[in-house]
Chain A
């Protein structure tokens, strides 16, 4: 009797393909937020990287015979008060600002995530000391602290890196700490610890992969924040120093001609806004795509 030995129905059912989660790539391709952010950001980064090719002029070459010219075939976005090509300056400025924005978040990201993981996992005295430091840093208005630090350690790019290195890690530390505290109490972490794995291994292989998502998503917003700060410092004359082009100092220079040549101040600002939209969309998209089911 063959019917008697056939296994129960549930066991023979083939694995249901429909319920399996689509791959990361497929989820990314199907997220309109992620895709629009990725396209916008890639375009802006590509334009910045290609500055020497498509810029056509040196960003610092002056042409004092043709200052404040309107858009033309020779100068697509016209020239500024020293006859410098605005299109070239815009591209090179983007190159500098994006580069500083990305480099400035590297140390805060690495340091903040590490210290947040240690604090969240071990707790105790280190945790309370670090969290008090975080409270103190957050008590300062962001811009006030950055401006004061840049003034103290010296204006320019290295001042920006030091100022962000000293302050920006606190956000990463705080979010990673709370993520780690949640992960620590989960069953599979207890199982890994009970199985005799070393603490380093538990932290590195079982906790960090689950907590890092939030930090990675925040990196995108953080780059926007840093670029805004760099541009603001540039506007105040404390950021990237002339003659190197920077969106902030371009706006500041253009402000003097706001009555007659509005585009001089308007265009670099638009570039900042577009960059912000691109990176924010990318961050939102990443959050959607990387969210655990």
Chain B
């Protein structure tokens, strides 16, 4: 592609061929649409400091801190400047990849939270995998057996999941599978790839359970709609085997709302990993956030919050693009 762009003639042909395609225009438009959200997220994380009651520097350091330390922190946080100058400084630093300086470690915030990123990312991946693997078969079972015993069983399962604190479920899993049966480590992350994966299975399952009930409910309704659609009746009337109808006609069309739903709920799933990391003693982003809260290390809390939100924006962008790939109606609109 880069080679293609070097010669003007081929570059023009490339532009004609791809930039005019509705698909690519959708991608560009979708990316442009997320820019205001990113800016909004930056404004919100900036305003977090303003929500601290009283003098933020005094509150963060505690009542017994010497006045000189408070004054120094106030300077470091830029609290003496007018608010628009503070915002500009915050924005300028972010644009240059500077998330601020940790009060506790006196080190760049990025260096404090970066080590946790791969772990949290992998945990979210494993949890998403579990969410799909649990949701799709159960929703299909419930939809194809509407109002029968298996439908009610799936419903009961979702009801229990809706009110279940994920950290409590995690404690139960640890007692059953780690303490009693020794199948999994009680906590920690190991050192090799397989150890990483092994130690992420229970936490991943735990994080998935938080969104599975919502996913099952919506997907079941979506599948019932598809099962009642005319083209499914047509497919059946043509004499296609019922397995072919289920997997080719119903599954493909039910997949689209599943991916959309996943995009909507992924933010909740990602938020749930914060407490799950604490339960399973995993040193990811969530643990960095909770440790920073214990240390009253505001810049780190602010940085982690921003990184989480940016992560969600990227994930939602990806799921939107995947849905558009699956459903031509969206990208041609």
Contacts and interface: CB of A to CB of B under 8 A. Distances in A.
A231 B316 CA distance: 28
B163 A279 contact: yes
Most buried by B among A141, A146, A258: A141
B268 A152 contact: no
A140 B309 contact: yes
Given A141-B312, A251-B171, A276-B162, A152 B41 contact: no
A147 B274 CA distance: 9
B293 interface: yes
A153 B159 contact: no
A228 B169 CA distance: 12
A248 interface: yes
Most buried by A among B179, B267, B278: B267
A64 interface: no
A232 B162 contact: no
Nearest to A153: B51
A228 to B, nearest CB: 6
A151 B293 contact: yes
Contacts of B40: 132-133, 135-136, 139
Contacts of B304: 144
Nearest to A237: B294
Contacts of A281: 159
Contacts of B105: none
Contacts of B52: 152-153
Interface in A260-281: 262, 265-266, 269, 272-277, 279-281
Given A138-B267, A140-B312, A272 B163 contact: yes
A130 to B, nearest CB: 12
A276 B175 contact: no
11 contacts: A139-B37, A139-B40, A141-B312, A152-B51, A152-B52, A228-B163, A228-B165, A236-B278, A238-B293, A248-B165, A277-B159
Interface of B: 36-37, 40-41, 43-44, 48-49, 51-53, 159-160, 162-168, 171-172, 174-175, 179, 267-268, 270-272, 274-275, 278, 289-290, 293, 298, 301-302, 304-305, 308-309, 312-313, 316
The 9 A-B residue pairs with the shortest CB-CB distance in the complex, in nearest-first order: A276-B163, A141-B271, A143-B271, A136-B40, A269-B168, A141-B270, A142-B271, A144-B308, A148-B305
Given A140-B309, A144-B305, 19 more contacts: A136-B40, A136-B43, A138-B267, A139-B41, A141-B309, A143-B275, A144-B274, A148-B289, A148-B305, A151-B293, A152-B52, A154-B53, A235-B167, A236-B275, A258-B171, A258-B179, A269-B168, A276-B160, A276-B163
Interface of A: 132-133, 135-149, 151-154, 221, 224, 227-228, 231-232, 235-236, 238, 248, 251, 255, 258-259, 262, 265-266, 269, 272-277, 279-281
